[in-house]
Amino acid sequence: MKKIILFSLILVMIATLAFNTFSAAAAYNDMVSVTIINRTSGLVYVSLLPKEANVVYYLDVLGGQTEHFTVPRGRYTHTSYACGKTVHGVVDLRHQVTLVFTPCGSEPPNSGERGIEKIFLDTYPFRSDFIYSIK
């Protein structure tokens, strides 16, 4: 009888461990990496508001710094602040992305490669294939 109880206890522990491992893996897959490179001399601030949740993610990066963040995958409305300007728009974070805030007063030489977007708040282009957009 003691062997059956011990075996049952071990089986329950293994099942619990396996469930927790798979739950953690599923939660990790629902997250995405966001890198913000701040090439301005001041603070860059991005707040992300998902449509389906009552939370706000605040991402801030000091001048000349790079920070890496992890947020749930999805589309967000954003409020961004850089170079003394505040803008609102939409950002698609279903895939890993790098947002490069260019120096104040200078436009980027190009829009960036796939997964990397260079952001210049004064004349940011309105293209539908961009991950980050301003309204």
DSSP state letter for 117: E
**pLDDT: which is higher, 87 or 4:** 87
- Quick check: is 38 in a domain? yes
- Quick check: is 92 in a domain? yes
Edge-to-edge order in the sheet of strand 97-101: 66-72, 31-38, 97-101, 116-119
**pLDDT: which is higher, 100 or 124:** 100
Range of the domain at 116: 31-134
d(Cα 108, Cα 102) in Å, to the nearest integer? 6
- Quick check: is 102 in a domain? yes
- Quick check: is 9 in a domain? no
Q: Is the pLDDT of residue 21 over 60?
A: no
Minimum mean pLDDT range among 5-14, 88-97, 105-114: 105-114
d(Cα 82, Cα 124) in Å, to the nearest integer? 13
Mean pLDDT for 127-133 is: 53
Its pTM stands at 0.68
- Quick check: is 13 in a domain? no
Q: What is the CATH number of the domain that holds 123?
A: 2.60.40.10
At residue 10, the pLDDT reads 72
Residue pLDDT, tens place only, 59-100 = 999 999 999 999 999 999 888 898 888 888 888 888 888 888
- Quick check: is 11 in a domain? no
- Quick check: is 17 in a domain? no
At residue 7, the pLDDT reads 67
- Quick check: is 7 in a domain? no
Q: Could you give the number of structural domains in the chain?
A: 1
Confidence of residue 27 (pLDDT cuts 50, 70, 90): very low
- Which token pair is 125? 């282009």
**pLDDT: which is higher, 110 or 72:** 72
